[in-house]
Amino acid sequence: MTDTAIDLASLLCSRLCHDLLSPVGALNNGLELLAEEKDPEMRKRCMELLEQSARTSADKLKFFRLAFGAAGGFGDTVPVEEPKALIDALVAGNGRITLNWTLGVAVLPKPAVKVLLNLSHIAIDALVRGGTLDIGAELRDGASEIVVRAAGPKIAFDPVIGKALDGVLDPGELTSRTAPAHMIQQLASAQGGGLQYALSDDALVMGAVLPG
């Protein structure tokens, strides 16, 4: 494994830990409160918060296991219902995001699934004030085509992530925040495909084409 590959793996681990810190910290705080609280109603509320934090932690772990790792079984393809369920779970806790799907396939190659998940995660992060998330995927002429659109007020998109998607990221700009975009750009390039994006004040559109 090259130094660059090791750095990328380390940064992806850092990103995973960063995203898990909040729900796991909430679990710890909830357990401490539960140990001290005597009022039945407050204990019930603590238990509800613990269940929510545990569910969020599990959802994020499942998501990153497939987005960054080697989950999805031993075959070359993954049923689209698997990444769809993971993204649905991430968005479920955010009442400000409306999620729409257009899936024209039953299965996708694993590289396409990783691209789909990571583009979707970038889009979710961009909707800091809520909005609409549209995700589509299909197979055309043997290639996986993916489109993800985030629309809403005050789209939050770091231009350095855009550089990573374009494949022009400077080595010094590779961080835990840009690592996922860099990873899928490298993945798409290795497949003979590519990524693209377009940004306006109220929408971020990202797409990918990955030959079979």
Domains and their CATH numbers in the chain: 3-211 (3.30.565.10)
8 A C-beta contact, residue 56 and residue 30 = no
Query: How high is the pLDDT of residue 27?
Result: 81
For CA atoms 66, 102, 205, 185, give the dihedral sign: positive
Q: What amino acid is encoded at 185 in this protein? A: Q
Q: What amino acid is encoded at 19 in this protein? A: D
Query: How high is the pLDDT of residue 79?
Result: 95
Query: How high is the pLDDT of residue 22?
Result: 82
Query: How high is the pLDDT of residue 71?
Result: 61
What burial class does residue 159 get, using C-beta atoms within 10 Å of its C-beta: 0-12 exposed, 13-18 middle, 19+ buried?
exposed
pTM: 0.90
Task: Report the alpha-carbon distance of residue 82 to residue 116 in Å, rounded.
Answer: 11
What burial class does residue 70 get, using C-beta atoms within 10 Å of its C-beta: 0-12 exposed, 13-18 middle, 19+ buried?
exposed
- Enumerate residue ranges in the chain where pLDDT < 70: 1-3, 71-74
